[in-house]
Amino acid sequence: MRLLIYRYMAGRDAAMALSDIENAFTKVDRTTLYRTLKTFEEKGVVHQIEDGTGISKYALCEPGCNCSIEQDLHLHFHCSNCGETVCLTEHKIPQINLPEGYLAEDVNLVVTGLCEKCST
């Protein structure tokens, strides 16, 4: 099952909600997907994305990504038209300077707008 889920995710280029995967595999239970994604995340296979919709999305990590150890540095784009959320892995989050006393552990940057498919 994990292999099937992994292959499905590898074939998609946008981030997926749990329900997306659920619809692609009518025969598997939500719970299995939920726990599989949790395992994947712990093992650094996928990373969870909070795009502001309130629905967690998941995407495979790039080869060489070590987001299970340190922070995930690339930004995410959420299209307000088609609803898709994509990883812009080439676009790293710039250095943020914080006020005195603040200690950064993780940075999450989400740009909302129109994606390449919807902007024309």
Partner DNA sequence: CTTAAAAATGCACTTCCATTGCATTGCTCA
Partner DNA sequence: TGAGCAATGCAATGGAAGTGCATTTTTAAG
- Which one of Zn ion, DNA, Mn ion, none is in contact with 92 (Cβ closer than 5 to 8 A by kind)? none
Q: Mask: binding to a copy of itself, 53-92, rule CB under 8 A, as x and -?
A: -x-x------------------x-x--x-------x-xx-
Cα(21)–Cα(30) distance, integer angstroms = 9
Q: Does 87 bind Mn ion (CB under 5 A)?
A: yes
Q: What is the DSSP letter of 15?
A: -
Q: How far is CA 47 from the centre of its chain?
A: 5
Q: In Å, how far from its chain's centre is CA 118?
A: 20
Question: Which of 20/91 has CB closer to DNA?
Answer: 20
Cβ proximity to Zn ion: between 79 and 87 the closer is 79
What values do phi and psi take at 101, rounded to 5?
100, -15
Binding site for Zn ion (CB under 5 A): 79, 81-82, 115, 118
